[in-house]
Amino acid sequence: MARIGIIGAGSWGTALTHCLSENGHSCRVWSISQEEVDMINTFHEQKEKLPGVILPESVQATTDLAEAMSDRDALVLAVPSPFTRATAARMRPYCRFGQLIVSVAKGLEENSLMTLSEIIREEVPQSEVVVLCGPTHAEEVGAGLPTAIVAGSANERAAAYVQDLFMSDVMRVYTSTDVRGMEIGAALKNVIALAAGVADGLGYGDNTKALLITRGIAEITRLGVSAGARAETFAGLTGIGDLIVTCASMHSRNRRAGILIGQGKTAEEAMKEVRQVVEGVYSARAGLQMAEKYGVDAPIIRSANDVLFGGKSPAEATRQLMLRSRKAENGSEDLF
C-alpha cells in the first residue's frame, strides 16, 4: 500500500482518487475550495463534477496543502493546466528531495511553450516527475470501465512505479520514455477536439469528423516530431487514441465547448456553459506559437485560433480550410 496525495479535487482528481483507493492505497485529497473539501468529507462524493462516484470513507480532503502532502509516497497533481505553475510553486516548500509528482493535466504554457512536466520541474526542482495521460474520461475511469493509459518518464524505474500504482483489472498502464511526445499530443488533441465540436455544432457529419481526426493527427505529429518527439508516440494511446476519444465523446468538455461555439456562442460563453476548464482554449495559442517556432504547417490549429481569438466565423474558417492549395495526402510535409 502506498500513501498518495491528490492535489486537485475536480473530476479527474476524484476519478484517480477512486482508482487508487480501489487498488488499496491510502489517499488524501487537497482542494483550494472549502466547499469541495466539505462535500468530499461529508458525502464522499464530488457531487458537482463527478456525481455517482463514491469514495471510501477513509479518503479525507483538506484545504491545507502541507497536510495533503505530508508523508506521501507520491503526489498526483490534478489541477487544470492553467493553474499548474501556481500550484507547483505553492507545493515547492513541502516537497522533499526526490518527491515523486505525477502530472495528470494536459496543456502547453503560452509564450514559454513549456510542457506541464517542464513547468513542474522548474517550480519544484527537487522532484521526480512522471506524466500520466491517454484516452481516459474521468466519468468512465470513475465508473470502473476498462481503460488504458501511459506513464511517461525518462526515469524508467519511476514510470514503472507509477504503472504499479494504477494498474488493475480495469486500468491497463503502459510506460514510455517519450514524455515530450506524450505531452504535446495530449495538449494539442484538445485543440483538434474543439474543432471537431465546432463541426458538430455547424451540423456537419461523420465524414467531417474523420477528416479532422486524421488530418489533425498528421498535424500534431508534424509539430511533435519537429519539437523533438518520436513519431510512433502519436500512433499510440497518447496520440491518436486520446484524439479519437476526445473528438467523439460527449464526456469531452473540449468537444462540448466546440459544439456551442459552432452554434454561435463565443469561447467565453461556451466555457461558462460547460462549467469546467476547457483546456483546448488555453492550448490553442501555444500550439500556434509552437508551429510558428518550428516552421510547421498547422492549418487546423491556425483556424481554431482564428475562430477563438480572431473573430472569424466557424463556417468561414471551415471554407478556408477546405479551399487550401491542392496536395498529396502523404506529401513531403507528412513524412515525419
With 80 as the cut, is the pLDDT of residue 242 above it? yes
If one counts the domains in the chain, the total is 2
Confidence grade of residue 333 (pLDDT, cut at 50, 70, 90): low
**Residue (of 228, 235, 189, 219) closest to 291 by Cα position:** 219
Distance CA 158, CA 74 (A): 11
- All three cell numbers of 226, joined, read 519537429
Q: What is the mean predicted confidence (pLDDT) over 94-102?
A: 97
Distance CA 4, CA 71 (A): 9
Residues 75, 163, single domain; the answer is: yes
| pLDDT at residue 203, as a whole number | 97
**How is residue 176 annotated by DSSP?**
E
Residues 14, 138, single domain; the answer is: yes
Q: Mind listing the pLDDT tens digit for each residue in 127-148?
A: 999 999 999 999 999 999 999 9
Last residue of some domain: 177, 194, 221?
177
| pLDDT at residue 275, as a whole number | 83
Question: Whole-number mean pLDDT of the chain?
Answer: 95
Residues 232, 166, single domain; the answer is: no
Last residue of some domain: 177, 206, 231?
177
Residue 210 sits in a domain whose CATH number is 1.10.1040.10
pLDDT above 70 covers a percentage of the chain that reads 98
Q: What is the mean predicted confidence (pLDDT) over 261-279?
A: 90
Residues 53, 164, single domain; the answer is: yes
Cα Rg of the chain (Å, integer): 19
Q: Mind listing the pLDDT tens digit for each residue in 294-313?
A: 999 999 999 999 999 999 99
Residues 16, 163, single domain; the answer is: yes
Active-site annotation, residues: 189
Confidence grade of residue 51 (pLDDT, cut at 50, 70, 90): very high
Last residue of some domain: 152, 177, 202?
177
Distance CA 64, CA 253 (A): 29
Domain that holds residue 44: 3-177
Residues 145, 251, single domain; the answer is: no
Q: Mind listing the pLDDT tens digit for each residue in 284-296?
A: 999 999 999 999 9
Q: What is the mean predicted confidence (pLDDT) over 17-28?
A: 98
Q: What is the mean predicted confidence (pLDDT) over 303-328?
A: 93
Phi first, then psi: give them for residue 259, nearest 5 degrees.
-55, -45
- Residue 22: count of CB within 10 angstroms of its CB: 15
Confidence grade of residue 96 (pLDDT, cut at 50, 70, 90): very high
| pLDDT at residue 335, as a whole number | 46
Residue 125 sits in a domain whose CATH number is 3.40.50.720
| pLDDT at residue 25, as a whole number | 98
Residues 20, 169, single domain; the answer is: yes
Residues 113, 184, single domain; the answer is: no
* Residue 85 C-alpha from the chain's centroid: 15
**How is residue 55 annotated by DSSP?**
P
With 70 as the cut, is the pLDDT of residue 46 above it? yes
With 90 as the cut, is the pLDDT of residue 327 above it? no
Residues 101, 213, single domain; the answer is: no
Confidence grade of residue 334 (pLDDT, cut at 50, 70, 90): low
pTM of the model: 0.94
Residues 6+ apart with CB under 8 A from 226: 294, 295, 296
Residues 238, 324, single domain; the answer is: yes
Q: Mind listing the pLDDT tens digit for each residue in 52-73?
A: 999 999 999 999 999 999 999 9
Residues 304, 200, single domain; the answer is: yes
With 80 as the cut, is the pLDDT of residue 113 above it? yes
Residues 169, 197, single domain; the answer is: no
| pLDDT at residue 336, as a whole number | 42
